[in-house]
Structure formats: C-alpha cells, structure tokens
Chain A
Amino acid sequence: MSHMFIQTFPEMKKLFYSLALLSLMSSCATTNMTNYYNQNQAQLDVIHKSFKELYKSREFSIEFNDKNFEHIFLEMFTDTLRYIYEFGINEPRLKDTLAKFNLAPAKTIDLITRMKAIECKGVSNMTYYGDGKESNLVFMAIKKKDIRWPFTPQKYYVLTYYDQPQYYDKDGRLVDNRSMKRLKKLNGDIFKRVNSRVAYTISEHAR
C-alpha cells in the first residue's frame, strides 16, 4: 500500500528516501563512533594521558573557541582564583603565561597542537559523585563532521575517560553502579560504551 502511494506521489518518494537515509545515518552513530575511536585511538589516548599528567601540576582546561582552531580559552585554577585567558595558539604570551602558572609550556603547546590536528574542541576535568564518593573523569569533545541543517547547533563527539572500569547495561549505556538502576547522565546526556573505561555520546555540550 505504502509502495503504491510512493509511486503515485514522486515528492513523497523523495521524502521517504530522505527519511530512510536519515534513519540509517542515525543508526550508524554507534558504529561511526566506535570506528572513529579505533581509528584515532592513538592520538586520543595521547591527548588524554598528556592532559592527566599536566593536570597534576595545575588544574586547568583548554577549549578552542573559533572555527579554524586558532584561538583557545585557557582556564587555570589556583587556591584563590580561577583565571580565564584567551590566546591565539601562536602568541608568544601563551608560553609566558603557561610558565607563570607552572604548566610545562612545551608539553602544553604540544597538547594544543595534537588537539587541533584532530579538531578536538576541548579537554577538561569533571568532578562527579558516585554514591557520595568524589571521582574525576576527563571530558573530551571532538567536532562532528557532517552535514548540518540550517539553524541547528554544532554537535560534538564527547568522550569521557574514567580511572576505573564502568558499569554498562545490556544496551551498552553507562549506568550508575552494579545495580544498573540509574543511567549515569553527564550534562543531561546518556553515554554509551566504547570500552570499559571510555564512554561516548553525541552532544551539543563541548564542556
């Protein structure tokens, strides 16, 4: 019946195929992300490790704030203040500021360069509380390259790196604990398994 309807109305045919394509694209999201992670694992893991190591000397986060990945927000925490600076990635004062805040300039600039290479929008630490116990994760957002509808927001592949293996339900969704009663939502987003310590989502939130 629907087949006859489509044959009768060519516009409906186009719409039908567009919807079918969209549905196929969305169902491929999981595969795409796992593929993306597998293809870029080496780069992603280096960024993660480098960030973790630098974070020990100073709590900080980096976020690119332009389309061309030429400018960053650098957020650094001291005991008394949170500092937010904006730099061009080639500006000499970036190096001076990093040194002043005890963040190894060469390593940090290397991290920024690696982030730019894979269009990683930002990397930061996020504190969360599971069963009242404080834990940390590394939050990484990578620009999603696909066709965007007009007036729709930019979306990101968001990867979260945990120190401990996480629990996932039978659908591969990140859950709170062994009881698997509650989904672990970060920024309101549901995350899915990449591996036991890495989960992903597709989100508008880059931080």
Chain B
Amino acid sequence: MFRRNFFVRYFSLLFILSGFFLSSNAGDTVSISTRQEAINYIHNIKTIAPSSFWPHLKPEKFLRNVLEDINNPNALYQGNNTNFCGYAALTYMPLHYDPLGHAKKLIALYQYGEVLYGKAHLKPSAAVRNAAGNLVYKGALDVRGAEQMWLLTLADHFKSYLNFFNRKYKAGDENSFWAGVSYGKFNRMIRTLLGYELHARGSDLRHPRLGDIYTYLQEQLTLGGTTIVFQNNAYLRKKAKGKFKPGYPTHFIVLQSIRKINDSLITMTYWDYGFETLRQVSPAVLKKIIFGVTHVHTNLPGNEKVIL
C-alpha cells in the first residue's frame, strides 16, 4: 500500500513538474519584423525623457543598450553567476525574430514602468525598479541597463515552485532561487509572452525518454524554429569517472547544430552567455546532461497588438 501510494505521488509530482506540452504544427522560422526596422525605429526616437520608474537607468545609455542588443542579438548577456539563463534563452527569440516588437515593448516598459507583453502584464515591483542599473560585478551585464531591467522584470513577474520561499526581490537575489526557472515555467513564459506554439519533452527531475538523444536533437533542428535544451551544466565541467552523481538541470541553451564526429564524439554548437559555443561531448555525457528539449515553432506569434 505504502509503495503504491509512494509511486502514485512520485509520478504525480513528476507530471506536475514536467512540461509535457504537445502541438502538431511545424515550419520554418518566420521573422515578424526585421533588424533594420528596429534600428530605424530607435534612430527615429533619438531621445527619451528620464523615467521616474527606473531611477538608475539613464535614457541615453538605455537606448544605446537596446540598439546594441538589436544589432548584435547574440551578445545578450545574462551576467556572471546569476540565475537569468532561462530569461536570456527566451529573449533570444524576440531579438532574432521580432526585434522591432521587442524594442517597442522595452521602451514602453522604461517609459511607463509597465507593459502588456504578449498575454502578460509586466509591472515590476519598486525593489526591482530600484535594482535595475545597480547590478555590479556581473561582467558585461554591469553596463547594460536595458538588459538588467528586462531580466529582472521577467524574474519578478513569472513564478513557479522554485520561487516559493523567495518571492520578493532583495539585493543579490538575481543569484538566488528568486530568479530560478523550472522547466514548466520556462515553457509557460514562451507561450505567455511570445505566443509561440511549442513541443516540450522533459522535466526538472528526470531525463526524458527520447530514444537516441543525438537523433532526436538532430530531428528537432531539421524542423526549423528554435530548439532550447535544459541541461546540467555542472556535470559538463566535472569528470564523474563512472561514479554515481546526482544531477539536476541548471542551465538553458539555444541549440544551433549537432554533428557526430565518430561513435564516441559529438560536436554541438549552442548559444548562451553572449556567445556561440562549440563543444565536444561523448554520447554518454550528452544523455546524462539533458533534462529537457523544447522546440519552439517561431512562426506563429498571432498576438502582436499589445503595447500600451
């Protein structure tokens, strides 16, 4: 009886935590707006008034940062030692496929202190508004006020069980569970903010059953759209030597390519931390590190009328 109850509870919990979302539509990535349109829009604005909502963000630097992100979306940086990787991986999509829409919303958020973005009404708390522009020793994020504003706002708005015990921002919480992103929350954020349909397999606790993980990832990439992998980054950095190592996912990356060099070596290219990275792993390590694969059909936003 005890064993049955235990299994029922265990699997119920896994089901709740996991992001089993299914959809059938697939297609190539479609850009809603172009980079040039976004650049022209920002150039036409020229200047904006200082915002009372964001006391530590100077308007010139803010606009410059928005423009930098549009010009070089891959340079978006989550900051050293923060828990912002999920929000950064998510932002990869609007920066690449709808830079104009994203720029408009960032500027509205700066000017009004709140914005309707997709289906989410983003209205960051006063603590977060005071923190934006004040994050330091996070590498390039230190001098990117617009990115600080955006990442803090997302972390403040979207909550999951990981954030249960720490829901109100305090200084330094960008490194804590306050900013943590579970797999379910990540997928929810994509659907709520960006309106894309997605196909997600995985969870926060156990590896998804995907058959041959290399073949599965390759199939996702051939579908077009954007493929995001939820993985254990710490495992990648330590040699296990066959010992049991408990693992849980810690990091979101945007997968760009994957190629088998031989039976024992796979080369994958992905985006994270403001860089495109090429890394070689064995098939066994690849299987151990992956906890979730989300394929986003970045062709069907359908809800682009939301700026205040």
Contact = CB atoms under 8 A, between A and B. Distances in A.
Contact of B239 (A65, A126, A187): A65
Interface string A193-207: 000000000000100
Given A86-B280, A187-B81, A129 B275 contact: no
Tier of interface size on chain B: 20 to 34
Given A65-B238, A71-B239, A126 B139 contact: yes
B297 to A, nearest CB: 27
B140 A127 contact: yes
B277 interface: yes
Q: Is the interface of A mostly helix, strand, loop or mixed?
A: strand
Contacts of B276: 80-82
A129 B277 contact: no
A186 interface: yes
Q: Is the interface of B mostly helix, strand, loop or mixed?
A: mixed
Interface in B136-182: 136-137, 139-140, 142-143, 172, 175
Nearest to A127: B139
Contacts of A63: 237
A82 B136 contact: no
A50 B175 CA distance: 32
B239 A129 contact: no
B241 A66 contact: yes
Interface string B247-277: 0000000000000000000000100000111
A185 interface: yes
Interface in A111-129: 126-129
Given A81-B269, A83-B278, 15 more contacts: A65-B238, A66-B241, A81-B275, A81-B278, A84-B277, A84-B280, A86-B280, A126-B80, A126-B139, A127-B139, A129-B143, A134-B143, A187-B80, A187-B137, A205-B81
